[in-house]
Amino acid sequence: MRVFCALVRRELSAFSQGPTGFIIIASVLFLIGLGFVVVLSGLNGQATPMPVTQVFYGTYFFWVILLIIAPVITMRSFAMERASGTYESLMTAPVGDWQVVLAKFTGALVFYAILWLPLLVCSLIVRFYVGESAVLGFGTMFTSALGILLVGCLYMSMGCFASALTRNQAVAAVSGFAMGAALFFTGFFSYFAGDRSDWLSQLARHVSLANHMESFSRGVIDLGAVIFFGSLTTLFLYLTHKVIESRRWK
Amino acid sequence: METPMIEVQNLTKRYGEHLALDSVSFSVRHGEVVGFLGPNGAGKSTTMRILTTFMAATSGTVRIGGDCIFENSMHVRERLGYMPENNPLPPDLRVGDYMKFRAQLKRLANGELTKRIDGVMEQCGITDVAGRFISQLSRGYRQRVGMADALLAKPKLIVLDEPTAGLDPNQVRSVRKLIRKLAGDHTVLISSHILSEIEMTCDRVVILHEGRLLASGALEELMTKTSAAVVAEVQTTLANAKEWTAQLALGPTECVEQPGGYVRCRFADTANANTREKIFASANERGWPLRELSRQPPSLEDLFVNLTHGKEAGE
């Protein structure tokens, strides 16, 4: 456990050294702020039938942050270690492959979670001025945060996998983005599917991130969504582990 | 019988079609300093990467202190200090923080951690740069940080891949001294393509060439097998000297023109006992003044040339 904590701390310290981490934080802060301004001016004092969090997911800002920022967070995890050669001294220390994979994933996830803290502040401001718990209850805020965290798990594990495949950070970011975008746009088909019940439409509805996030933002914890995010995260972490392990295949 | 520290049997590594290591076997006893010698691309780093459990061999077995490196990889790593080729270090950390991070990875107990870090930093002469970023360090300091990391957990086996590459002569000397001091308590494996370096630091050498083992054994033993070179300086033209050495047929010879009308001929492989007599008589016969005729103790360079030459001639 001590080794795992040391590895996670090392991951997080890498974000605070150099400009990359701060550029990411600044961009996300800007996007969250912009998103909130758009949502609030759109409502413009009118009554809304749905919680504010749900409106926020309806904007592009949330998905831009997820699709573009996530691969930037994870791109350095394995690729940079490989490019600089420190991967060799890391993997010959008495540290297990799973420990390294989980530490890199956890480090990225913690940084991702920190990025979303401004949203919490924005929500609290709205709650303070509106004063109506129906608009933004603590329950809704909790499930929204859970949704953000679960979708983050999926995208961080996917990004770690992309980073493990290459020694070039740019390639890691682009392939991570491609995988993330592919998954996101597959879900888009559920809009065209309408009420059709063929297997393709059902699949599209099942993998639709937007659908899953919508239920979380309404204050509903959808067990199906939790299983969906959990299983895909596990799958990508497993694949990452296999890539890391492959150097010792005969 | 004592189990050897390193026991390598029929180690083979293929990268696709390319055969990087071809059935290499050797062993290293506890407390020995062993040099891994070979030109670039001979398979030194590949062997070290396999020994340090970083990657797997295509076939063959390696045991470190009796443990199979594939089955007991963790146990092997706990007793291993490794400095990879080019000594990669994270540039964004301070030296002290890096040492602390590595000590935690190597599972040093909290109580002894600080004391041990201070100890190795003192030993490697990096105490005064503890607060500096690794990216700001000179090559010599970086190399010493790498060495300090390798020594951190008091490992039984220390593997250093080209520890003196890119250092200035003073730094090379201090690294050599450090390596010599480690002998006895630790088993040390170092690689180099610089012959004089191995000659000065190692008890034994393992010589690799194009993925094959050319020789392995105590340095002195290998040296006695290598015949000494004979040097003669005669007053003649270079063309004459070349023709003369060809006629003498005493093995591979080098002729270099010297100032004052002399030519220095070096007979590298003089297995025959009375070479000097033959050279003297022949020069006398031609009436060439001879100002030097000496026997030189074999260098590792001679050994290496002899071995590789023999392989190529045999093919």
- CA–CA min distance B200, chain A (Å): 27
Give domain B227-297's CATH number out of 3.90.1010.10, 3.30.70.980, 3.40.50.12780, 1.10.10.970. 3.30.70.980
Using DSSP's 3-state secondary structure scheme, residue B253 falls into strand
Flag the least confident range among A139-143, A156-160, B82-86, B301-305. B301-305
pLDDT at B314 over 60: no
Using DSSP's 3-state secondary structure scheme, residue A175 falls into helix
| Alpha-helix residue ranges (DSSP H) falling in A44-137 | 52-58, 60-64, 70-74, 76-84, 86-91, 97-115, 117-130
The residue-averaged pLDDT of B29-48 equals 88
Average pLDDT, chain A: 86
The boundaries of every CATH 3.30.70.980 domain in chain B are 227-297
Structure tokens at A240: 């990452």
State pLDDT tens for residues A69-113: 999 999 999 999 999 999 999 999 999 999 999 999 999 999 999
Flag the least confident range among A66-80, A157-171, B5-19, B290-304. B290-304
The residue-averaged pLDDT of B20-27 equals 92
Q: A58: pLDDT confidence band, cut at 50, 70 and 90?
A: low
State pLDDT tens for residues B178-189: 888 888 789 999
Determine which of A11, A92, A97, A248 to mutate to test the interface with B (most B C-beta atoms within 10 Å): A92
| pLDDT, position B183 | 82
Residue with tokens 């934080």: A25
Domain count, chain A: 1
Chain B residues with beta carbon closer than 8 angstroms to that of A17: 92-93
All residues at 6 or more sequence positions from B304 whose CB lies less than 8 Å from its CB, including other chains: B37, B195, B207
| pLDDT, position B104 | 94
Instruction: Give me the domain span that covers residue A128.
Output: 2-248
Q: Measured between alpha carbons, how far is B129 from A107 in angstroms, rounded to an integer?
A: 28
pTM, to two decimals = 0.85
Higher pLDDT: B310 or B136? It is B136
Q: Measured between alpha carbons, how far is B302 from B223 in angstroms, rounded to an integer?
A: 9
pLDDT at A116 over 50: yes
Residues A243, A87: contact at Cβ < 8 Å? no
The residue ranges of DSSP E strands in A133-244, in sequence order, are none
The boundaries of every CATH 3.40.50.300 domain in chain B are 6-223
* Fold for the domain defined by B6-223: Rossmann fold (3.40.50)
The minimal CB distance from A94 to the residues B77, B90, B101 is found for: B77
Instruction: List the single residue in B with minimal CA-CA distance to A95.
Output: B105
Determine which of A3, A22, A76, A89 to mutate to test the interface with B (most B C-beta atoms within 10 Å): A89
Instruction: List the single residue in B with minimal CA-CA distance to A99.
Output: B105
CA distances from A224 to A195, A203, A206, A212 (A): 19, 13, 9, 9
Q: A165: pLDDT confidence band, cut at 50, 70 and 90?
A: very high
For chain A, the distance separating the N- and C-terminal CA atoms, rounded to the nearest angstrom, is 30
User: pLDDT above 70 covers what percent of chain A?
Assistant: 89
- Which residues of B have a CB under 8 Å from any CB of A? 49, 52-59, 70, 73-74, 77-78, 80, 82-86, 88-93, 97, 101-102, 104-107, 149
CA distances from A4 to A56, A95, A100, B154 (A): 36, 9, 8, 22
Q: B50: pLDDT confidence band, cut at 50, 70 and 90?
A: very high
User: pLDDT above 90 covers what percent of chain B?
Assistant: 35
B89 CB neighbour count, 10 Å cutoff:
23
- CA–CA min distance B101, chain A (Å): 7
- CA–CA min distance A77, chain B (Å): 13
Q: B209: pLDDT confidence band, cut at 50, 70 and 90?
A: confident
The residue-averaged pLDDT of A166-184 equals 94
| pLDDT, position B101 | 94
Q: Per the CB < 8 Å rule, is A84 touching B106?
A: no
Residue contacts between A and B (CB atoms, under 8 Å): 75
Q: Per the CB < 8 Å rule, is A6 touching B104?
A: yes
pLDDT at B311 over 60: no
pLDDT at B313 over 60: no
B6-15 vs B59-64, strand pairing mode? antiparallel
Q: Per the CB < 8 Å rule, is B59 touching A250?
A: yes
